[in-house]
């Protein structure tokens, strides 16, 4: 197999271009970062030989083996972006470059630990989905999360909303109309009989079920 890092970069690009509705080799080879990877076409042929990808004319698709490898790579990359953004406060413009450097060193155990630390985020900072791992399904890793549900924060805590996992789009729209969106700073005033939060100069009462869906990071 060719250099693993090059293969991982190509798998990542195949996955992301597919999210954009593309799966042509010509499009893949037009991307600057891929062009910089020497022998990209040779690597694609090697990947086909190793049953990772399948080439049909100008189209490239992933085999079952390739899907599993690409999903793990995407998961590491997008969790790395979350970690850099939410814990290390790296600015948006630097996320992609630093995540690309960092992701290759993450083992499955460390990846799951990061995911748990971040409260099992559903999306990366750019809003793209993060594939779920075993930790998301089993919650067995004993790591204190930096990002946690609003229901688990303390009264008086000032927090920034990181992401929301609503049970319906209607609820998400309603929260948005109240200013309860990722990036908003809130203060938790009470938890019983209902959750009361301060956002800006407004006090809002929300149900416990809604509080469970709002994930926050305590401000320093």
pTM of structure:
0.72
Q: Is 151 found in the same domain as 131?
A: no
Q: Is 118 found in the same domain as 75?
A: yes
User: Which of the four pLDDT bands, split at 50, 70 and 90, describes residue 88?
Assistant: confident
Q: Is 163 found in the same domain as 124?
A: no
Domain of 187, CATH number, reads 2.30.30.90
Q: Is 51 found in the same domain as 24?
A: yes
Residue 41: HSE in the Cβ half-sphere, 13 Å Cα cutoff: 8
Domain of 81, CATH number, reads 1.10.10.10
| 127 φ, ψ (degrees, to nearest 5) | 90, 5
Query: Looking at 97-184, which runs of residues are DSSP E strands?
Result: 147-149, 158-164
Contact assessment for residue 214 and residue 191, using Cβ atoms and an 8 Å cutoff: no
The residues, ordered by sequence, that sit 6+ positions from 178 with a Cβ below 8 Å of its Cβ are 199, 202, 204
Domain boundary pick from 138, 165, 194: 138
Domain residues for the domain of 198 are: 147-218
**Model pLDDT for residues 6-41, shown as the tens digit of each residue:** 888 889 888 988 888 877 777 777 665 554 555 677
Structurally, how many domains does the chain consist of?
3
β-pairing verdict for 214-218 and 158-164: antiparallel
Say whether pLDDT at 205 is over 60.
yes
Choose the weakest-confidence range: 41-50, 92-101, 104-113, 151-160.
Answer: 92-101
**Model pLDDT for residues 164-176, shown as the tens digit of each residue:** 887 777 777 888 8
């Amino acid at each position: 197999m060719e250099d693993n890092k090059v293969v991982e970069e190509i798998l990542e690009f195949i996955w992301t271009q597919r999210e954009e509705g593309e799966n042509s080799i010509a499009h893949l080879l037009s991307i600057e970062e891929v062009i910089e990877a020497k022998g990209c076409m040779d690597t694609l042929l090697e990947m086909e030989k190793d049953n990772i990808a399948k080439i049909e004319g100008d189209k490239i698709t992933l085999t079952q083996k390739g899907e599993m490898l690409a999903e793990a790579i995407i998961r590491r990359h997008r969790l790395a972006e979350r970690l850099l953004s939410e814990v290390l406060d790296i600015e948006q413009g630097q996320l992609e470059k630093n995540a690309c450097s960092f992701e290759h060193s993450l083992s499955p155990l460390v990846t799951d630990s990061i995911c748990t630390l971040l409260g099992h985020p559903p999306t990366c900072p750019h809003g793209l989905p993060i594939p779920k791992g075993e930790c998301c399904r089993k919650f067995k890793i004993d790591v204190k999360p930096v990002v946690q549900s609003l229901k688990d924060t303390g009264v008086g805590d000032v927090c920034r909303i990181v992401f929301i996992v609503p049970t319906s789009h209607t609820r998400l729209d309603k929260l948005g109309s109240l200013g309860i969106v990722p990036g908003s700073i809130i203060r938790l005033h009470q938890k019983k009989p209902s959750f009361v939060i301060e956002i800006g100069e407004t006090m809002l009462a929300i149900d416990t079920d809604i509080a469970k869906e709002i994930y926050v990071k305590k401000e320093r």
